[in-house]
Each structure stands twice: as C-alpha cells, then as structure tokens.
Amino acid sequence: MSVLKLATLWRFLEIRELAMKELTCRVESLECFQRILYGKQYDVAVWLRSGHTDLARRVNLITLEEATIFTIGWDLALRIYQAREALLKSSNRFGSVVCGGLNVASLFEEEFKAADAASAPYKYVDPNSPPPPPVVYYYYDSGPDSDSD
C-alpha cells in the first residue's frame, strides 16, 4: 500500500499500475468497507465498485459500528437499506439480493462516475504498445455548390 500511495502521490503511473496489480488479489479478500476506503483513498475505481457491490449484496446488515468505524456515510447506508427493503417487499425473500436481483450500477451510479473520473488521470499507457488506430472523419457537404447543373 505504501508503494501505491507514493506512486499515486508522485504520479509514477507505471509503478502505480504494477502496485495495483499486485494488491488487487489481496484487496479482494478484504472486507467490502476496506475496499471502498482504499478505492476512494487511492482512486482505484475497480476496488470501489467491488466494495459497493459486495456491501449491497451481502446478507448481513450494516451495523452502527461498521458505519461509524469505516465512515461509509449515512447516505450510502440509507441507499443500501432502501434498495434491500424494496427487494424484500417485491420478492418476500432476501435471497434475491444475494443472487443479483439488485442493480448495483444504478444504485451507486454517482459514486462510480466520480471514481472513474478520479482514476482517469492515472491511466498508464505502455510506451511499447502500438498506438491506437487513427480516427478518420468523413464530411458530407449537401450545400448548393455540390449539385451539378
């Protein structure tokens, strides 16, 4: 995490990318709250998405202690409870939350957009990779000069 922190701070994009790859498998085994915090702290949208998704779909409710210690914020906790309640009312079974009945992307759309925007400046482009194909623009002129008399 120290390498990721410094690479992010100093914008060493290649080192940051390598640190993220090495840490991703370790971070995925952490609690969802920790992934959310690390995702926000280091601008790693993948970790933030993973944490939000697991938090929304987990069976256990968010405890007061979790909300306080991990400072997820009351707005996030409230949206998760509202989504779960809506699912419970519609299905009468909590299992649908775990099985994917919850649209996490729409529930956290603002957070995911902000995370994507925050992580965008850190995208590493390998200088040895081939350049993207050029963009070709075609213009069609349908003005009066294009008609032949």
> How many CB atoms within 10 Å of residue 22?
12
User: Does some domain include residue 118?
Assistant: yes
**Model confidence over 51-81: pLDDT tens digits?**
888 887 777 887 777 777 766 777 777 877 7
Residue 93, φ and ψ in degrees, nearest 5: -140, 135
The answer to whether the beta carbons of residues 52 and 44 sit under 8 Å apart is no
User: Does some domain include residue 70?
Assistant: yes
Domain region containing 35:
2-125
Q: What is the DSSP letter of 100?
A: T
Residue 106, φ and ψ in degrees, nearest 5: -80, -30
Q: Which of residues 104 and 45 earns the better pLDDT score?
A: 45
What is the DSSP annotation of 36-54? HHHHHHHT-HHHHHHHHHH
User: Does some domain include residue 147?
Assistant: no
**Model confidence over 107-141: pLDDT tens digits?**
788 888 888 888 888 877 677 777 667 766 666 66
User: Does some domain include residue 6?
Assistant: yes
Count of domains observed in the chain:
1
User: Does some domain include residue 97?
Assistant: yes
User: Does some domain include residue 137?
Assistant: no
Assigned token pair, 118: 């925050």
pLDDT value at residue 4: 92
Q: What is the DSSP letter of 141?
A: -
pTM here is 0.67
